[in-house]
Amino acid sequence: MIPSITQSRRFTSIYNSYLVAFFIFLAAPLIVVAVFSFNDSMFPSFPWGGFTTDWFFSSEGEKTGIFFDSELLGSIGLSAGIAVVTTVLAISVACCNAFLFERFDFPGKAFLYILTLLPLVIPGVLLGVSILVFSSEIANYFEDTWLVELEFLRPGLTLVVIGQFAFITTICTLIIAARLKKFDRTLEEAALNLGASPLMAVFTITIPYLKPAIIGAAIVSFLMSFENFNTTFMLVGSDAPLTVAMFERLREGSTPVLNAISLLLMLGSGVLALINMAMQKKS
Amino acid sequence: MGNLGANARLKLGLWLLLMPLGLWLLLLIILPHFELLIFSITDPEDGAFTFEFYSEFFTEPLYWRTFLRTAVMSILATVLTLIIAFPVSFYIAKMLKGRSKGIVFAMCLIPFWVSELVRTFGWMILLRESGVISNFLQFSGLAAGPVELLYTDATIMLGLVYSSMLFMVVPLVSTLDSLDDSYIEAGYDLGGTNWNVIREIVIPHAVPGIVSGCIIVFMLSLGNYLTPVLLGGKDSLWFTEQIYTQFITRFNWEQGSAFGLMLLLLSSLIVWLGLKATGQSFTKTMG
């Protein structure tokens, strides 16, 4: 079972075949999605109609490629916008949280830490509906009492950002706090001794040290937001972000243009994953 | 810079940092769930206290059966994921060293950076009547006609196990990593068989990883929406689907809130039981 203990050949070969089967299982769905994006047919399934790149580059006709599908392109832009705003918000709050939990002691800290972790175990659908109910109640109150219509509290992009921010902040906090924990505080003290103010010390010494974790958290946050479905689906209004738009098309039964967009997503997230892993290694 | 000044500044810093945390937790987590609770026990007509939305849940068989079904299938998915992931995690943590370890581990991680929607779509292409596996079975003579593999409970189970695999592998690898090889060798030196060593040495050491993996996988399965809907079709009967239907399709928010809280209650209960049974703390397991 470990290299220093020899096993029977039968055991080793069974173990190895199991591992191979496992990795085929992991890769199979991704491979077929990629392969069928080049299928010259109206459906992402057999029969194989020959190789084509129409689902990427065809500009008109029934086989409109992804680069000319204005509806899907628009939803990509929307998702990217949501992801950027969510990430900026989540990272800012997460940095504050990390300093709070690593540098301060105060009554109720353990309890607050549990609350901070809570979004990890709340199903995304539930997070979505609870925010939907709460924000609608506030909007109704303002409408009834003050005759003000607070449009941003109704289902729509702002609520989507709020809903995603609610749980992504927890993940960013954990990533940033883990690195802050390893920080050697004598470096900060040295800066203080050299005459820096505490805030200056934090911004010139500690924040640069945290940079790999902040970038890593930002990548994770961007992807989680971009790919989120459960929470987003409960909070969308009339504009559909990418995952919602893809889901609607998937239910209707779609053309291989969905494979094409999926392949692009895979490449995008693959690149981000590799960048993130390289960053982790360097730090 | 007097001592008092530094102290006061520290206090100010504490309050400034507490503010975003407090606002976030209060406005986006605590109050919304509290509002959900209020909604589920208030009569929309006259605002009086009512228990009708919960009694509706218990008296309508469709609702509580879907609830139980979701719970049982999520537990099953968790157990299956653990069984499938364990040998792989052990291999990564104990059999591989250095560079190859990093590469194989990365091979496990990368598929999960891809959107769940894309992965589910891949399974649909593989499993549907005109899909890859059906065609392969016909081609190899194992099946006479097209085989529909979608829209069964087994398909949902497959999708659930697949989509949560990573969340089992990562905690398992990190706990197994910390198990010293010499303990395993000692087990064999004392005459233990593979099974003895796994049961007496490896599994007890891996308990923290097993618990955190199981909790996350269970939560993900319970709260999953895409997999049951897309792979299970119309009859998937998943509880999150019920919540969605009540909120968005029927616009019965009171009933939906009651369902939501039942789901939250169930998940908290199972997480609590899992932690209690194994003596783990929530903060350690999740953090």
In 3D space, the residue among B45, B43, B74 whose CA is nearest the CA of residue B56 turns out to be: B43
Residue A47, preceding peptide bond in cis (omega within 30° of 0): yes
Backbone angles phi, psi at A119, to 5 degrees: -55, -20
CB atoms within 10 A of CB A282: 7
Chain B residue at shortest CA distance from A237: B248
In chain B, where the domains are located:
54-286
The pLDDT confidence band at residue A1, using thresholds 50, 70 and 90, is low
In 3D space, the residue among A23, A85, A80, A109 whose CA is nearest the CA of residue A227 turns out to be: A80
CATH 3.30.450.20 fits B54-286, yes or no: no
Mean of the per-residue pLDDT values of chain A: 87
Interface mutation target, options A19, A20, A33, chain B, most CBs of B under 10 Å = A33
* DSSP symbols for chain A: --TTS---HHHHHHHHHHHHHHHHHHHHHHHHHHHHTTBSSSSSSSSP--B--HHHH--SSSS--GGG-HHHHHHHHHHHHHHHHHHHHHHHHHHHHHHHHHH---TTHHHHHHHHHGGGGS-HHHHHHHHHHHHHHHHHHIIIII----GGGSSSHHHHHHHHHHHHHHHHHHHHHHHHHT--HHHHHHHHHTT--HHHHIIIIIHHHHHHHHHHHHHHHHHHHHH--HHHHHH--SSPPHHHHHHHHHHH---THHHHHHHHHHHHHHHHHHHHHHHHHH-
Backbone angles phi, psi at A35, to 5 degrees: -60, -45
What does the longest C-alpha to C-alpha distance in chain A come to?
79
Chain B residue at shortest CA distance from A98: B17
Query: CB of A282 within 8 Å of any CB in chain B?
Result: no
For B:84-113, CB contacts with A below 8 A are 84, 87-88, 90-91, 94-95, 97, 102, 106-111, 113
Range A77-103 burial, b when 16+ CB lie within 10 A, else e: ebbeebbbbbbebbbebbbbbbbbbeb
Of A27-31, A107-111, B130-134, the poorest mean pLDDT is in B130-134
Q: What sign results for the dihedral spanned by CA atoms A153, B36, B224, A272?
A: positive
In 3D space, the residue among A102, A85, A245, A225 whose CA is nearest the CA of residue A164 turns out to be: A225
Instruction: Give pLDDT, residue B2.
Output: 46
For A:51-70, CB contacts with B below 8 A are none
For A:135-174, CB contacts with B below 8 A are 135, 137, 162, 165-166, 169, 174
Query: CB of A37 within 8 Å of any CB in chain B?
Result: no
The pLDDT confidence band at residue B87, using thresholds 50, 70 and 90, is very high
Q: Do B21 and A270 touch (CB under 8 A)?
A: no
For B:133-152, CB contacts with A below 8 A are 135
B22 class by beta-carbon count within 10 Å (0-12 exposed, 13-18 middle, 19+ buried): middle
Half-sphere exposure of B166 (CA within 13 A, CB side): 16
Query: Which of residues A82 and A72 earns the better pLDDT score?
Result: A82
Helix (H) or strand (E) holding B142: none
Instruction: Give pLDDT, residue B1.
Output: 44
Angle CA(B137)–CA(B142)–CA(B144) in degrees, nearest 5? 85
The pLDDT confidence band at residue B55, using thresholds 50, 70 and 90, is confident
Query: CB of A38 within 8 Å of any CB in chain B?
Result: no
Q: Is the pLDDT of residue B3 over 70?
A: no
Chain A residue at shortest CA distance from B104: A23
B254-272 confidence digits (pLDDT tens): 899 999 999 999 988 888 8
B205-254 confidence digits (pLDDT tens): 888 889 889 988 998 899 999 999 999 887 788 999 889 888 888 888 88
Stretch A250-265: mean pLDDT:
84
Instruction: Give pLDDT, residue A238.
Output: 84
- What separation in angstroms does the CA of A204 have from each of A99, A172, B50, B246, B277? 15, 21, 58, 52, 47
B30-50 confidence digits (pLDDT tens): 999 999 999 889 888 888 888
The identity of residue A247, as a single letter, is F
Rounded CA gap, A256 and A43, in Å? 6
Tokens 């992504």, residue located: A168
Residues of chain A contacting B114 with CB distance shorter than 8 Å: 30, 227, 265-266, 269-270
Rounded to a whole number of angstroms, the distance from the CA of A55 to the nearest CA of chain B is 16
CB atoms within 10 A of CB B109: 16
Interface mutation target, options B19, B21, B91, B282, chain A, most CBs of A under 10 Å = B21
Instruction: Give pLDDT, residue B287.
Output: 63
**Fold of the CATH domain A71-252:** MetI-like fold (1.10.3720)
**For chain B, counts of helices (H) and of strands (E):** 15, 0
pTM: 0.88
For A:70-99, CB contacts with B below 8 A are 92-93, 96-97, 99
